[in-house]
């Protein structure tokens, strides 16, 4: 398990990222518990962040797969085929949980999250999805 990180410590870590180019993730939108478009503002995202903080996974992609199984799906692909909204909330919630807690984002999770945003956006992304994409691209890469 990764080190002990509270939400306060996660916020401080994001503040420190400002000097390394990840400033977009510091906006209040990313921390809004009531905005359904924020990564952890919907029920699925809020529950996922709570679980991420409780477990402190070393492997965020394995954590994401476990979240899909906990929702009754064998795989993340099965979740996507059956319930895109749930799939998207799990992927984006996990990506932003990793950013908030570790200050980094694995390449695999970044790619999954950017794929979600590209599919959802079609020809015109929402303002929220544009913010999410900018923050995902700016987050430092995990080793």
Per-residue pLDDT, 18: 43
Q: Measured in Å, how far apart are the chain's first and last C-alpha atoms?
A: 16
CA atoms within a 13 Å half-sphere pointing along the CA-CB vector of 61:
10
Beta bridge partners of residue 19, listed in sequence order = none
Residue-wise pLDDT for 83-142, tens only, equals: 999 999 999 999 999 998 888 999 999 999 999 999 988 778 888 888 889 889 988 898
Which DSSP category does 128 fall into?
A: H
Which DSSP category does 22 fall into?
A: -
Position 33 confidence tier, pLDDT thresholds 50, 70, 90: confident
Query: What pTM value is reported for the model?
Result: 0.80
Q: Which two tokens stand for residue 48?
A: 């996922």
pLDDT above 50 for 21: no
Domain boundaries, the chain: 7-138
Q: State the chain's mean pLDDT as an integer.
A: 83
Token match 């679980």: residue?
A: 51
């Amino acid at each position: 398990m990764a080190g002990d990180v509270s939400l306060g410590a996660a916020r401080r870590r994001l503040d420190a990222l400002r000097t390394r180019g990840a400033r977009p993730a510091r906006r209040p939108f990313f921390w809004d518990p009531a905005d359904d478009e924020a990564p952890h503002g919907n029920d699925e995202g809020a529950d996922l962040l709570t679980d991420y903080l409780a477990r402190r996974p070393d492997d965020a992609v394995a954590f994401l797969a476990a979240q899909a199984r906990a929702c009754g799906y064998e795989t993340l692909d099965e979740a996507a085929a059956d319930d895109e909204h749930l799939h998207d909330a799990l992927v984006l919630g996990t990506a932003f949980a990793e950013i908030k807690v570790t200050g980094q984002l694995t390449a695999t999770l970044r790619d999954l999250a950017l794929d979600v945003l590209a599919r959802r956006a079609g020809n015109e992304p929402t303002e929220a999805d544009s913010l999410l994409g900018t923050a995902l691209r700016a987050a430092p890469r995990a080793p």
